[in-house]
Chain A
Amino acid sequence: MIETMIPLLLTALIFLGALSTAFWKSPFDKLIGLSILSAGIIPFIIMRGYLDVAIIVALVIPVTTIFILFLLGRPRT
């Protein structure tokens, strides 16, 4: 039973993250939604058994977030 429930709950988490990324207006809110989306993606990778890919994903996604935060941190004209 729990094996059938976990993919459905992760799917709900992914779509909540996608909707919040697409429909919120502030860029910081969008980045938080992107983190929710990646929190739904990483257990899917681990359930298929690719632990090395999960390590790379978990290292690269915060780096991408930091790159976008460099763009947001400057004073806007």
Chain B
Amino acid sequence: MNIEFIVGFSLIIFGTFATAWPRPKNYITRLINLELPAFGLLLVLLSFDETIALLTFIAVAAITTFVFVRVIEKKEAAE
């Protein structure tokens, strides 16, 4: 129960609400707000001293963002 754990969980909760109800309701706002719970989860993993989990999560988060960018491009081109 150190400060990384508390900050990480409050960031996860705040970022989840910001992603669920974004202010301009479009895909780009949701995608950028989705980075907030990702950073919160990174802090929680840091508080439990899991090095391999940290490395894997950061690498997968970048690939996930790339996939979401491609999906949003296709979706906006189709509309």
Type the 1/0 row for A3-26, where 1 means its CB is closer than 8 Å to any CB of B: 000010001001100100111010
Report the bound CA distance from A41 to B55 in whole Å. Answer: 15
Interface residues of B, Cβ cutoff 8 Å to A: 3-4, 7, 11, 14-15, 18, 23-24, 28-29, 31-33, 35-36, 39, 42-43, 46, 49, 51, 54-55, 58-59, 61-62, 65-66, 69, 72-73, 76
Chain A interface helix/strand/loop/mixed? helix
CA distance A20 to B54 in the complex (A): 25
Shortest C-beta distance, A61 to chain B (Å), equals 8
- CB B69 to nearest CB in A, in angstroms, measures 5
Chain B residues with CB under 8 Å of A15's CB are 7
